Amino acid sequence: MRKVDKAIKDRAEIWLTDVFDEDTRREVRRMMDTDPEALEDAFYKDLEFGTGGLRGVMGVGTNRMNKYTVGMATQGLADYILRTSTDLEKPRVVIAYDCRHNSEYFTYVAADVMTANGIEVFVFDALRPTPLLSFAVRELNCQAGIIITASHNPVEYNGYKVYWDDGGQLVPPHDKNIIEEVRKTSVEDVRFDGQKELITALDETFDREYIKRIKTLSLTPENNIKQGDDLRIVFTPIHGTTVRLAPQALKAFGFNAVYNVPKQDVTDGDFPTVKSPNPEDPAAFDMALKKAEEVNADLVMATDPDGDRVGLAIKNEKGQYILLNGNQFASILTWYVLEQMKQQGRLTGKEFMVKTIVTTELLSEMAADYKVEMFDVLTGFKYIAEKIRQLEGKKKFLCGGEESYGFLVGDLVRDKDAVIACCMMAEAAAYMRSQEMTLYDLLRKIYKSYGLYVESLISITRKGMQGAEEIKAMMDTFRKEPPDSIDGLTIARILDYQAGLEWDLYLDQKLPIDLPSENVLQFILEDGTRITMRPSGTEPKIKFYFSCRTILDREEDYDEKRQLLLDQISRIKGELKLE
């Protein structure tokens, strides 16, 4: 039998003490006796409470999502809330959860720990999407919010995301301070003896208030009513949290021809109809596209399990359904918001937008054309929320997004919101219909005006302790030994966000990057092509982002020009040995 490192075994033996329940102790003994590989993976490290909270495989062990790791995270968070809210008689926290296995269980573990510490807790009475949690934090004047979700990760995962009082995910200084509190918390410190009288349930009344508020974001409400019976929409929550809320919101916006996918309306943490509940995965759309063919839908939308990301399929000029990526989704909505604001005379020079550094530069091109300020931030919607908070009362946030299918219109919510995005995309489609155009026509029009951008992403998974070392080695190699050229094109600039430096290779000049340090490396080639390397902060992956651009003189040349850029990206991937 494989020999387990003594340090790992010692960590596991702590979980055999009577601090832990009998089921937990029994599983630790089983791994010790018969499954050393599982024991090693479960105990080789602590499940790290990072800036986004916890995310990991469910099970027994320090490196797993379970009652005790959730309890320690919550106790550390409770301690920080109490330390920073001394002026409040009873601080408040709101908790929501998604459709995954154990999500409701972990919710009440967290609620018990919070109330045991004298903190008032609001808990949604059933699963709800992440953006509703973000909205609730501010609406209920809470000091923090928690959502139990693993987003679009595989079925064996769950997670624990923390929001601060602005409705956004944790950013400095709170992220580091809370991490410190959690790190010094042991199982013995956790107070699991909750006070039920401090828990208040939130029902559909709160949903109706949210829909009422997001309806105010509509830019062409009268046209929605005119087009609402004819614009055909297929929507699927892929077994997740938007199953009721998104169709209700679409109807409130005036869209009555909404068709569901009955088998995917079933709430199920096994996600039985898909291999991956991720709208970035084309296969996740299979059932929805079949439904779209049946009803001759104009657009097809699918959200991820916790309802913050949305994917889109539309018809091309041949009447065939095509899937758009997150950059294309963001480009359409950005144009629609900017154009309507301009037409209605609502651009005053005090508006702004935000995107992440791996999101298409096409958004910046459009913002500049409409004379709206664009900010680039690190990857993660929490940085978009942070920028909204920084400029609150000074400038008006219009919209912002990231390439990973996350978008937000308006500042009612401080995270990406698939419900708002679905409603606004339907509205954009209805507007184009009134102009006798489709969203596909609009996309080509945008490319003709600003340049054709094509993006691609590769995610390489490396699990376990060895995988983490492999990912680190990849980044070290690219950082210390970058190539001189790629695909015959000279590297003009290297942006090392970890070092906080931008290196202009032509001028041999290094300039500071005014963003927080993060393990991201970006190569910009002489033709503007961008290659970005970034280890995921929530999954055992390293992600490679590619973006190429060319001029599109005629809309009819779209397919041909797009293929040339795809070929360029393919060559780059091959040269970097990623394919």
Task: Report CA-CA distances (Å) from 208 to 136, 228, 257, 391.
Answer: 12, 20, 20, 29
Q: What is the Cα 107 distance to its own chain's centre?
A: 20
Give yes or no for residue 197 having a pLDDT over 90: yes
Question: Which stretch of 5-9, 15-19, 355-359, 524-528 has the lowest confidence by average pLDDT?
Answer: 5-9
**What percentage of the chain reaches a pLDDT higher than 90?**
91
Task: Write the Ramachandran bin of 62: left for phi over 0, alpha for psi from -120 to 50, otherwise beta.
Answer: alpha
Helix (H, G, I), strand (E, B) or coil at 374: strand
Task: Report CA-CA distances (Å) from 201 to 16, 171, 205.
Answer: 36, 28, 11
Q: What is the CA radius of gyration of the chain?
A: 24
Total residues found in the chain within this entry: 579
Helix (H, G, I), strand (E, B) or coil at 277: coil
Task: Report CA-CA distances (Å) from 304 to 154, 156, 271, 409, 531.
Answer: 12, 16, 11, 18, 26
What are the sequence ranges of the domains in the chain?
45-202, 209-450, 452-575
Candidates 155, 175, 149, 154; CA nearest to 164 is: 175
Half-sphere exposure of 457 (CA within 13 A, CB side): 19
Task: Report CA-CA distances (Å) from 20 to 74, 111, 461, 505.
Answer: 17, 19, 33, 57
Superfamily grouping for domain 45-202: Alpha-D-Glucose-1,6-Bisphosphate, subunit A, domain 3 (3.40.120.10)
CB 119, CB 107: distance < 8 Å: no
Structure tokens at 231: 């614009």
Q: Do domains 45-202 and 209-450 have the same CATH topology?
A: yes
CB 445, CB 555: distance < 8 Å: yes
- Residue 35's pLDDT is 93
Q: Which fold has domain 209-450?
A: Alpha-D-Glucose-1,6-Bisphosphate; Chain A, domain 3 (3.40.120)
- What is the rounded distance in angstroms from the CA atom of residue 259 to the CA atom of residue 232? 8
DSSP per-residue string spanning 3-25: PPPHHHHHHHHHTTSTTS-HHHH
Asked if the 452-575 domain carries CATH number 1.10.357.10, the reply is no
- 58-100 pLDDT, tens digit per residue, is 999 999 999 999 999 999 999 999 999 988 889 999 999 999 9
Residues 6+ apart with CB under 8 A from 393: none
- Residue 311's pLDDT is 97
The percent helix, strand, coil of the chain (3-state, each to 5) is: 40, 20, 35
Q: What is the pTM of this model?
A: 0.94
- What is the rounded distance in angstroms from the CA atom of residue 547 to the CA atom of residue 542? 17
- Residue 538's pLDDT is 61
- 333-353 pLDDT, tens digit per residue, is 999 999 999 999 999 999 999
- Residue 539's pLDDT is 67
Backbone angles phi, psi at 238, to 5 degrees: 50, 50
- What is the rounded distance in angstroms from the CA atom of residue 252 to the CA atom of residue 265? 20
- 258-284 pLDDT, tens digit per residue, is 999 999 999 999 999 999 999 999 999
Residue reference for tokens 């559909």:
204
Query: Which among 85, 103, 134, 151 is annotated as catalytic?
Result: 151
Q: What is the Cα 219 distance to its own chain's centre?
A: 25
- Residue 468's pLDDT is 82
Question: What is the DSSP pairing of strand 406-409 with strand 396-402?
Answer: antiparallel
Question: What is the DSSP pairing of strand 157-164 with strand 54-57?
Answer: antiparallel
CB 348, CB 410: distance < 8 Å: no
Helix (H, G, I), strand (E, B) or coil at 281: coil
Helix (H, G, I), strand (E, B) or coil at 53: strand
CB atoms within 10 A of CB 125: 10
CB 144, CB 156: distance < 8 Å: no
- Please give the mean pLDDT across all residues of the chain: 95
- Residue 405's pLDDT is 95
- What is the rounded distance in angstroms from the CA atom of residue 297 to the CA atom of residue 304? 20
- Residue 537's pLDDT is 66
- 155-171 pLDDT, tens digit per residue, is 999 999 999 999 999 99
Residues 6+ apart with CB under 8 A from 569: 454, 456, 546, 548
- 199-244 pLDDT, tens digit per residue, is 999 999 999 999 999 999 999 999 999 999 999 999 999 999 999 9
CB atoms within 10 A of CB 445: 15
Give yes or no for residue 527 having a pLDDT over 90: yes
Residues 6+ apart with CB under 8 A from 480: none
Annotation marks residue 151 as catalytic:
yes
Give yes or no for residue 1 having a pLDDT over 80: no
